[in-house]
Structure 1
Amino acid sequence: MTSSPIWHPFTQHALEPSMRSIRGADGAWLEASDGQRIFDGVSSWWVITHGHRHPKIIAAIEKQAATLDQIIFAGFTHEPAEAVATGLMKIAPRGLSHVFFSDSGSTSVEVALKMALGYWKNIGKARTRILALEHGYHGDTIGTMSAGARGVFNAAYEPLLFEVGRIPYPKPHHAQPTFDALEIACRRGDVAAFICEPLILGAGGMLIYDADTLREMRRICKAHDVLFIADEVMTCFGRTGTVFACEQAGISPDILCVAKGLTGGSLPLAVTLCISPIYDAHFSTDRARTFFHSSSYTANPIACAAAAANLEIWQTEPVIERILALSQSQALCLNELETDPRFTNLRQLGTITAFELAEVPPGYLADVALKLRARLLERGVLLRPLGSTIYVMPPYCTTKDELTFAYRAVSDAVDEVMA
């Protein structure tokens, strides 16, 4: 345990005064400074895909760092960025044709919102309203907080946020209210874009909806000329069982946000992909129509080298087979909880499983989350329950035995906490 002047994210230091020191990682495991091995059941906040320190990614980082570490991306380009853009064009949903680099999931969504608003302004149409799916979470910058659900995450910052139209979450087997609300909102004629997390709402509680619902929401937006933004920051690169979640619905968004697993989880990098008309609306001899967005580290060469190596891994290694194996192991572990009265609403999407504690009221601030995290760490498992919602999202290299170990730790920790 360490105590330092660092202010940690999503941490109430009055309740968690000391942070665990980690000195190493390999595969699906972390190594604490005291020597304890900890199973990374949340892929280090959903970013690690193949496993920690994949040798091809590490080698690419080392090679790139020895030649070009950083260059301003306005007026310049470099081979790693070109390789990433070219590679993404080969696997991205059809119709996406341009790639804009940024450095985090939040900024990739912020870029998407600005692209949408810039598109309508530059073609001379007064469309400024954003629609978003209820319970969504899109990041912690001002635009992304505005698009995300209002609540404890952003209540203090309400004066900074802009109004967004809320579309009801599509409940399983009862999505018609979602379709009706989206249809009515789009008919107003002032909607610039609709944003959603395809198939699963992450921080909102690992809420899952089906591919048919995603397909119908896309159809409604297209019918009313509303730009469709798919926030695949979490779902990209295999989490849901396919490279992109949109594939399962057979749809192509107008704008696609990608981050987290883009580099295999090794370095921060994000991209926002868009269709040609959005790029063309900004393409002009009039400099006032420039897309005004950047960060100092846009398309950092070292991060791009890691992403290029990740794309190569997807082409040369049996990643989908590993994902399928992990998904099957997850299903087996989840099945063993089916008759356990302590757990309810068991669900799975690809490599992700989630369930609730039956006797605990819902809510992100439920005290049980902190207690469970502490007990799980004692048992060598890193999980971060969302209030009473427990989820397991491990790296793709995870074995059946490692999963069994993690689920056994969950069972034991719940027994101790609920007692």
Structure 2
Amino acid sequence: MKDHDGGDAAPLPLVPIRSAEGAWLEDFEGRRYLDAVGSWWTNIFGHRHPYIVEQLKQQLDTLDHVMLAGFTHAPVVELSERLVKLAPPGLSRCTYADNGSSAVEVALKMSFHYWRNTGKPGKTRFIALENGYHGETLGALAVGGPSMYRDTYAPLLLSPIHVPSPDCYERGPGESWEDYTRRQFQHMELALERHAHEVCAVIVEPLVQCAGGMRMYHPIYLSLLREACDRHGVHLIADEIAVGFGRTGTMFACELAPPLQYGTGAKRGITPDFLCLSKGLTAGTLPLAVTLTRETIFEAFYDDYAAGKAFLHSHSYTGNPIGCRAALATLDLFEREQPLASNRLLSNLMWTQTAELRAHPHVAEVRQQGMILAIELAKNVHRKTPYPAAERRGLRAYRHALGATKDRGVLLRPLGNVLYFMPPYVIAPREIEWLAQVTLEAVRAATAD
């Protein structure tokens, strides 16, 4: 059995967790663990946030579930209206699912089906970035990049067009993030020039390729990509499952795309044709996902039954009222607690507290985008020579951090040789300081020989 760090489950015993509160998990012996990775990037307001818990209790008193086919309910209507107001302008329709992979499947299928419904059945392929990750159902897996996830299932998968990533870890000495990102965009431009006639959509993780090692790129890529997709008649799918809801510094990462032409009235941000959301949508309490799209795409499916244009995609728990209530409570907390402002202080503290790590002889890079900070270990930092995967350096750091002190540890979840922080937004400054100190000690332990 394999997971996001590419390791097997056998060498380490499972850690049985009894309870959780705020940024902390607690096992059955009373030992506490700082959840530095937000329980796989889902938990943004801390475990068992009292407001979310109370809202869930109230929802259970009225409605647990009803199918979202021929029926509807108040939580899903309200959630849809609020998401449309929050999302980049122009996204007016919501399709619900119950996990991130399914949200991506909705986008892929709907894009393909749109072109079929509008008289362009030859558009059947997708363009994706190398090293991208979009989930593990078959469609989502196909447009992913890392071979460790997809190679076993290759005979079952679509054949997308993969282009080199704008990942700025690979930039040359003295080259800026923006210059390198612009240079890497040439690969995407060439792919669109050659294949737009057969391509439904381009899919990307805006700004951070999370499961691919928290690799990051400059937001100019999103601006260039939006313009190119428009010019070539191709949809743009933004997979913000991991980076949405404040992780990158704004509510959605797409908001950070700079204008291509600066001047009077120039605005930041781009609107994708499909926006895939999950994880932080319910603050890590319940599984829920949504794919937002444009009115013009919705209209391509809106016809008489006999026309055969309907989008037939559903899940038993689509738009579950309890999940929707958790999402509504999450949006309430964004309004009440204004975490985007406080996160700027926390992200600055994460950066300053990792200064000593940036000087470590086996840390090739410390990079950050908002509330995501990654530490890349390397055998030779000048050449960026990675440690061999078999040496499991990240796993050594993970073990050390779990046992940091007698009564408490830190949950780091390495991605190969990359350690990263994606903590809940309720993490306290003193907890960030302790997290950075434990991580420094873990890096020293992992690179000692």
Provide, for residues 195-227 of structure 1, a one-character-per-residue CA deviation record: whole Å limited to 9, x for no partner: 000011101111111111211111111111110
Q: Kindly report which structure 2 residues correspond to 1:167-182, keeping only aligned pairs within 5 A, or say none.
A: 167-170=163-166, 171=168, 172=177, 173-182=179-188
Are positions 1:164 and 2:189 aligned together? no
Deviates more, 1:61-70 or 1:228-237: 61-70
Q: Which whole-Å CA distance do the structure 2 matches of 1:133 and 1:217 have between them? A: 12
Q: 1:297 aligns to what?
A: 317
Q: Which amino acid aligns with 2:411?
A: L
Alignment partner of 1:128 out of 119, 124, 127: 124
Q: Which amino acid aligns with 1:374?
A: R
With over 3 angstroms needed to count, the CA separation of the structure-2 counterparts of 1:233 and 1:321, relative to structure 1, is same
Q: Which amino acid aligns with 1:30?
A: L
What's the secondary structure of 1:145's corresponding residue?
helix
Deviates more, 1:342-351 or 1:173-182: 173-182
Q: 2:260 aligns to what?
A: none
User: Is the contact made by 2:99 and 2:289 (CA closer than 8 Å) also made in structure 1?
Assistant: yes
How far 1:169 moved relative to its partner?
0.9
Deviates more, 1:276-285 or 1:357-366: 357-366
Q: 2:350 aligns to what?
A: 330
Alignment partner of 1:209 out of 214, 217, 223: 217
Q: 1:84 aligns to what?
A: 79
What's the secondary structure of 2:236's corresponding residue?
strand
How far 1:366 moved relative to its partner?
5.2
Deviates more, 1:315-324 or 1:294-303: 315-324
Task: Give % identity.
Answer: 42
Q: 2:395 aligns to what?
A: 370
Q: Which amino acid aligns with 1:164?
A: P
Structure 1 unaligned blocks of 5 or more: 1-6
Provide, for residues 74-118 of structure 1, a one-character-per-residue CA deviation record: whole Å limited to 9, x for no partner: 111101111110110111000101000101111111111011001
How far 1:9 moved relative to its partner?
5.2
User: Is the contact made by 2:132 and 2:146 (CA closer than 8 Å) also made in structure 1?
Assistant: no
Q: Which whole-Å CA distance do the structure 2 matches of 1:160 and 1:43 have between them? A: 32
Q: Which whole-Å CA distance do the structure 1 matches of 2:357 and 2:447 have between them? A: 17
Deviates more, 1:193-202 or 1:173-182: 173-182
Deviates more, 1:324-333 or 1:360-369: 360-369
User: Is the contact made by 1:365 and 1:387 (CA closer than 8 Å) also made in structure 2?
Assistant: no
Q: Kindly report which structure 2 residues correspond to 1:45-56, keeping only aligned pairs within 5 A, or say none.
A: 45-56=40-51
How far 1:176 moved relative to its partner?
4.2
With over 3 angstroms needed to count, the CA separation of the structure-2 counterparts of 1:136 and 1:254, relative to structure 1, is same
Aligned-residue Cα RMSD (Å) equals 1.6
With over 3 angstroms needed to count, the CA separation of the structure-2 counterparts of 1:308 and 1:365, relative to structure 1, is farther
| Number of aligned positions between the proteins | 412
Q: Which whole-Å CA distance do the structure 1 matches of 2:299 and 2:279 have between them? A: 28
With over 3 angstroms needed to count, the CA separation of the structure-2 counterparts of 1:147 and 1:8, relative to structure 1, is closer
With over 3 angstroms needed to count, the CA separation of the structure-2 counterparts of 1:9 and 1:336, relative to structure 1, is closer
With over 3 angstroms needed to count, the CA separation of the structure-2 counterparts of 1:372 and 1:407, relative to structure 1, is same
Q: What TM-score do the two structures reach when normalised by structure 2?
A: 0.88
Q: 1:253 aligns to what?
A: 272
Q: 2:30 aligns to what?
A: 35
Q: Kindly report which structure 2 residues correspond to 1:132-147, keeping only aligned pairs within 5 A, or say none.
A: 132-147=128-143
Q: 1:4 aligns to what?
A: none
How far 1:8 moved relative to its partner?
8.3
How far 1:322 moved relative to its partner?
2.1
Q: 1:355 aligns to what?
A: 375
With over 3 angstroms needed to count, the CA separation of the structure-2 counterparts of 1:112 and 1:33, relative to structure 1, is same
What's the secondary structure of 1:346's corresponding residue?
strand
Q: Which whole-Å CA distance do the structure 2 matches of 1:30 and 1:235 have between them? A: 23
With over 3 angstroms needed to count, the CA separation of the structure-2 counterparts of 1:397 and 1:294, relative to structure 1, is same
What's the secondary structure of 2:270's corresponding residue?
coil
Q: Which whole-Å CA distance do the structure 1 matches of 2:293 and 2:20 have between them? A: 35
Q: Which whole-Å CA distance do the structure 1 matches of 2:53 and 2:388 have between them? A: 39
Provide, for residues 309-359 of structure 1, a one-character-per-residue CA deviation record: whole Å limited to 9, x for no partner: 111111222211221121111111133322222312111100111121132
User: Is the contact made by 1:168 and 1:181 (CA closer than 8 Å) also made in structure 2?
Assistant: yes
Q: Which amino acid aligns with 1:244?
A: F
Are positions 1:153 and 2:173 aligned together? no
How far 1:21 moved relative to its partner?
0.6
User: Is the contact made by 1:366 and 1:388 (CA closer than 8 Å) also made in structure 2?
Assistant: no
Alignment partner of 1:275 out of 281, 284, 294: 294
Q: Which whole-Å CA distance do the structure 1 matches of 2:324 and 2:161 have between them? A: 35
Instruction: Give structure 1 regions of 4+ aligned residues with deviation exceeding 6 angstroms.
Output: none
Q: Which whole-Å CA distance do the structure 2 matches of 1:279 and 1:365 have between them? A: 48
Provide, for residues 40-98 of structure 1, a one-character-per-residue CA deviation record: whole Å limited to 9, x for no partner: 00000000011111111111111111211111111111011111101101110001010
Alignment partner of 1:390 out of 413, 419, 431: 419
User: Is the contact made by 1:228 and 1:253 (CA closer than 8 Å) also made in structure 2?
Assistant: yes
User: Is the contact made by 2:286 and 2:326 (CA closer than 8 Å) also made in structure 1?
Assistant: yes
User: Is the contact made by 2:288 and 2:324 (CA closer than 8 Å) also made in structure 1?
Assistant: yes
How far 1:151 moved relative to its partner?
0.8
Q: Which amino acid aligns with 2:277?
A: V
Are positions 1:183 and 2:184 aligned together? no
Provide, for residues 130-183 of structure 1, a one-character-per-residue CA deviation record: whole Å limited to 9, x for no partner: 000111000000001100014111221111111011121114332345322222
User: Is the contact made by 1:234 and 1:261 (CA closer than 8 Å) also made in structure 2?
Assistant: yes
Q: 2:239 aligns to what?
A: 231
Q: Which amino acid aligns with 1:66?
A: D
With over 3 angstroms needed to count, the CA separation of the structure-2 counterparts of 1:9 and 1:183, relative to structure 1, is closer
Alignment partner of 2:102 out of 85, 88, 107: 107
